[in-house]
Amino acid sequence: MNMLRTGAGITKIRTKLILSQIFIALIPFILVGIVGITFSAGEARKNITQRSSQTVTQVSRTLDTYMEDLDKLVLTLSDEIAAADIKGGGDVKAGEIIKTMQNVMGRYDEIAGMLYADSGDAYISTGITRISRDSFQKESWYKAALLDPDSSHMISTVTGRNIATDVGYSVDDVFSIVKAVKDKDSDEVEGVLLVDIGHSIISSAIRDSQLGGEGFVFVLDEEDHMVYTPINPVVYRIDPKWLTDENETISVGIGNSRYLVRFKRSDMTGWKTVSVTSYDELMGDYNRMMWVFGGILVATLFLVQYLSLRVSDNITRPIKHLRDLMRKTREGNLSLRFESNSRDEIYDLGMSFNHMIERIQELLDRVRQEEDLKRKAELKIVQEQFKPHFLYNTLDTINWMAREHGAKDIVSLVDALTNVFRISLSHGKDYITIKEEINYISSYLYVQKTRYEDKLLFEIDSDEDCEKHQVPKLILQPLVENAIYHGIKLKRGTGHINISVHRIEDSICMTVEDDGKGMDEHTRDSLRELLKTGTGSTEIKADDKESFGLFYVKERLQQRYHDDYRVEVESTEDIGTRISIYIPYIEEENGIR
């Protein structure tokens, strides 16, 4: 029972350490078993055959694993190209795909180059250069992708192409994977993605194969063409016709030596991984094994110690990585994420760390959204100061009574006031055209002129091509109101207000200018600081109506245009004030983005 409890309490990392130590410790015993086979020639042949089979199977599986990863990578990249819509997106989308290609090549050293050629013979590439202007559609790799656009294709022979890799790979050093890229909506082929893979991916798969000094592994494609082979004079004397049964190890004589040949066909690529083992060399090694057994045993003990240190380092490396990520996150960097190929406790901690960072980011975004909603609600309260129905009914009654008594000046005044209320409410709309804003200002100033008579004169000048653009409702009214109450009203004699709307390059400039009292330098600088620092409404004094009006305008512009606007304040005491609003000129119907 205690043993069961102990076994259940073993963590994954501890299990990994124990199994690694056991595996390393078993190496001497395996060597002893191999030496024992030398006492029986039949057992030696069986062991040689088995080792050849294991080697070729292992190399074949490793290659399949590599090819499967590359196939997934090609499929993913082709989907990204299809989703990017390079033709519709232009240079920006093409630049994003090239950056993605460069990132992929940075992660995979075995990738020699990547190229995407569309149906119009345009292309983008990384690590690959076009040699001539001949159409890519005439290339064999392009045609191969079109024959079966739903699958990836391995191209083992890359001679005679219209492209070359930038780093100097020869045609004997690479093979290719091609995949047609289809439009997501029409399912039509838009182009072909080609990825050149260096033979280093194959050599790395067979580098550790134990085939003796004269043994080697090479790879043939489906048509028995050579895909990869080390430099060896024997390989070209292996007849592919011998490779008929992958479950059989054949013995062939080449020159004065005998070799054991075995192959494994890949279900994924159709390639044949062929191992060639020197029978004479293996038998000689087994005979000498007894003499060197003692030395091997000692060397194995040192090897066990060395591998134990390497395994421990491999386990602690992700822990150190996670620790470094936490330190950087503590300093405020929330863009970092933990990544690992393992699935142990460190991986679970890393995923919890990623989840925690994502939750923190979500909470921060939620706080920003709530602040934005709060600000919108406060501005909404400012706009909705009274109910429209009672005002409309009352004004209609006054208008009717004035018409009955022939008071035309009162009729005009009521019409102007009704227009002011109608535009200010706008059926709950937050945005109106500049033309509607100008009509509102005209009616508003007509009402004010009736009150101030000859003390107030105004002019309005507006470009017709600017009037169709939409702006936040009542964006000029606070500025006009400030010009009257803080400028014209405090001035002796007649005051003038000029309102202009003009296009300046890619912007629309809306200006309210008066020749009234103006502002002293302190007041003017305070208003400029308000626009620059974004002082909140709670910091504006209740009786500072001029600041509040300008703050209201600033907040409305911020909600509509974010940082793509500016407000300029110019004022001189006893001369006048000029406030200009610059917003982007939008070349779209009705001026709506």
Q: What is the pLDDT at residue 582? A: 93
Question: Which of helix, strand or coil describes residue 578?
Answer: strand
Q: Which two tokens stand for residue 436?
A: 């509607």
The answer to whether 544 and 526 have CB atoms below 8 angstroms apart is: no
DSSP letter for each residue of 210-277: ---SS-EEEEE-TTS-EEE--S-TTGGGS-GGG---TT--EEEEETTEEEEEEEEE-TTT--EEEEEE
Report whether CATH 3.30.390.50 matches the domain 429-591: no
Please provide the distance, in angstroms rounded to a whole number, between the alpha carbons at the two ends of the chain.
73
Q: What is the pLDDT at residue 219? A: 86
Q: What is the pLDDT at residue 389? A: 46
- CATH superfamily, domain at 11-316: PAS domain (3.30.450.20)
Q: What is the 3-state secondary structure (H, E, C) of 35-76?
A: HHHHHCHHHHHHHHHHHHHHHHHHHHHHHHHHHHHHHHHHHH
Whole-angstrom distance, CA of residue 75 vs CA of residue 112: 18
Q: What is the pLDDT at residue 386? A: 42
Whole-angstrom distance, CA of residue 91 vs CA of residue 122: 12
The answer to whether 198 and 169 have CB atoms below 8 angstroms apart is: yes
Q: What is the pLDDT at residue 508? A: 94
Q: What is the pLDDT at residue 411? A: 63
Helix (H) or strand (E) holding 565: none
Q: What is the pLDDT at residue 290? A: 57
Residue type, position 497, single letter: I
10-residue stretch averages of pLDDT, the chain, 593 residues long: 44 61 67 59 67 79 84 87 72 81 86 88 87 86 88 84 80 84 84 88 72 77 81 81 83 82 84 82 62 65 67 72 80 77 77 84 80 66 49 60 67 67 61 88 81 85 91 87 87 90 93 91 86 54 59 84 89 92 76 45
Whole-angstrom distance, CA of residue 122 vs CA of residue 352: 45
Give me the long-range contacts of 75-78 (CB less than 8 A, separation at least 24): 75/152, 75/179, 77/101, 77/104, 77/114, 77/193, 77/195, 78/179, 78/180, 78/181, 78/193
Residue type, position 108, single letter: Y
Whole-number Cα distances in Å, 333 to 357, 360, 365, 369 = 10, 12, 15, 21
Q: What is the pLDDT at residue 460? A: 92
Q: What is the pLDDT at residue 5? A: 47
The set of residues, in sequence order, having a beta carbon less than 8 Å from that of 247 and lying 6+ positions away, is none
DSSP strand pairing (128-130 vs 152-155): unpaired
Residue spans per domain, the chain: 11-316, 334-383, 429-591
Question: Which of helix, strand or coil describes residue 562?
Answer: coil
